[in-house]
Amino acid sequence: MTTIPDSMRVSVLHAPTDIRIEERPVPTPRPDEVLVQVASVGVCGSDVHYYEHGRIGDFVVNDPLILGHEPSGRIVAVGADVPSERIGQRVSLEPGVPCRHCSQCRRGAYNLCPDIVFFATPPVDGAFSEYVALAADFAYPVPDSMSDDAAALIEPLSVGVWANRKAGTAAGSRLLVTGAGPVGLLVMQVAKAMGAAEVVVSDVDPDRLALARQLGATAVLDPREASPAESGIEVDAFVDCSGAAPAVATGIPVVRGGGAVVLVGMGGEEMTLPISLVQTRELSLTGTFRYANTWPAAIALAANGDVDLDSLVTGHVDLEHAEDSLAPDGAAKHVKIVVRPNGLA
């Protein structure tokens, strides 16, 4: 069994572009928690945004903050109420633990819990850290065949599962996905895994479109060459993963009557929409905010090979070089960078 040290190294954001390696006490798991030695942590656009700007909307980094909310690892200790058999399990971590008492939690929409404690969201620390403690039911065992990186990327895959649930994706569905970053590519892969007939991916970056094709998109689209409408497509659901107003405005007109519009990418506070189309076609427009009850499905999709997570990882850094993964010029050339808090090994 692993010997657990008293202190650990963490990567702390003090101010925009000011990241420091520090020493912190290793947390003691509460009765319903597990202590996890972190293996891999995916770097997300929101981590990059906090690093650059020190805030995302109303969430402001006023105090030093540990980033990272896509972690995997191994359970090394358990709280009093958790079976000790869990020690040693390789796990993927769902990084937000809700209050479990409010009406949103009780109706199953725990992602909307106003008191959720979510990694790397001020003032809650994240996982760029050698160890983290988390509620035991939010640490999910993964099969041996799944890599640590893939176990970490169950988090963005969950975003893809959730978006497809909102989109009503089913066997035979036709989708438009705008934005071929990690989330868009995962939305597309999940749609295919759910039996979608057509998944058209739109982006302005030819490399990302090539990757989309390679991972299963049935068609790709550069909106500078032809808008979705000009491409002649009609879809049952449109999932925006770009957050760009023009992408949303040009995507909506190709959704069939009664279809779905799901806004995953975050843009500004307001957006101007072709609302009479939404009305006369009775489109259902919604957004996604994290996810709920997605981990088991996401793990199954990755374990079965229905979704390819490892191909999305284009770089690794250790904790000391986490900052490299956050600097925009470094991040831009990657699909997904993974931080390894306990070493690259």
Q: Looking at 61, 142, 217, 292, which residue binds a copy of itself (CB under 8 A)? A: 292
**Does 202 help bind a copy of itself (rule: CB under 8 A)?**
no
Task: Determine contact, residues 76/37, Cβ cutoff 8 Å.
Answer: yes
Indicate whether 279 belongs to the interface with a copy of itself (CB under 8 A). Answer: yes
Q: How far is CA 224 from CA 228, 247, 254, in A?
A: 10, 11, 17
Residue 101 within binding range of a copy of itself, rule CB under 8 A: yes
> Which of residues 296, 314, 320, 343 is near a copy of itself by CB under 8 A?
296
**Which is closer to a copy of itself, CB of 137 or CB of 324?**
137
Indicate which single residue of 89, 227, 231, 284 sits in contact with a copy of itself (rule: CB under 8 A): 284
| Torsion angles phi and psi, residue 118, rounded to 5 | -120, 130
Interface of this chain with a copy of itself, residues 113 to 132, rule: CB under 8 A: 114
Residue of 267, 315, 318, 335 that binds a copy of itself (CB under 8 A): 267
Q: Which is nearer to a copy of itself, 197 or 327 (CB)?
A: 197
Task: Round to whole Å and give the CA distance between 292 and 202.
Answer: 27
N-term to C-term CA, the chain: 19
> From residue 19, how far is each of 123, 128, 133, 255, 267 by CA, in Å?
16, 11, 22, 44, 26
**Distances 7 to 22, 25, 96, 131, 183 between C-alpha atoms, Å:** 10, 4, 24, 9, 34
**Candidates 83-91, 159-167, 222-230, 330-338 — which segment interacts with a copy of itself by CB under 8 A?**
159-167
Nearest Cα neighbor of 168 from 216, 235, 109, 227 is 235
Q: Examine residue 89 and tell whether it contacts a copy of itself (CB under 8 A).
A: no
Q: Quick check: 108 binds a copy of itself (CB under 8 A)?
A: yes
Stretch in the footprint of a copy of itself (CB under 8 A) among 42-50, 144-152, 267-275, 335-343? 267-275
- Cα 34 from chain centre: 22
Q: Does 53 bind a copy of itself (CB under 8 A)?
A: no
Q: Is 85 among the residues that bind a copy of itself (CB under 8 A)?
A: no
Total number of residues binding a copy of itself (CB under 8 A)? 69
With the C-alpha atoms ordered 126, 132, 134, 139, is the resulting torsion angle positive or negative? positive
Indicate whether 170 belongs to the interface with a copy of itself (CB under 8 A). yes
CB atoms within 10 A of CB 230: 12
Query: And the tokens for 310?
Result: 């490892």
Name residue, tokens 């997605």.
294
CB closer to a copy of itself out of 144 and 225: 144
Closest CA to 13 of 70, 61, 69: 61
Task: Output the smallest distance, CB 241 to a copy of itself, in A.
Answer: 12
Q: Are 95 and 70 in contact (CB under 8 A)?
A: yes
Our CB check for a copy of itself shows the closer of 60 and 303 to be 303
Taking CB under 8 A as the criterion, the residue among 301, 309, 313, 317 binding a copy of itself is 301
By the criterion CB under 8 A, which residues form the site for a copy of itself? 32, 57, 100-112, 114, 135-137, 161, 164-166, 170-172, 190, 193-195, 197-198, 257-258, 263, 266-276, 278-289, 292-293, 296-301, 303-304, 306
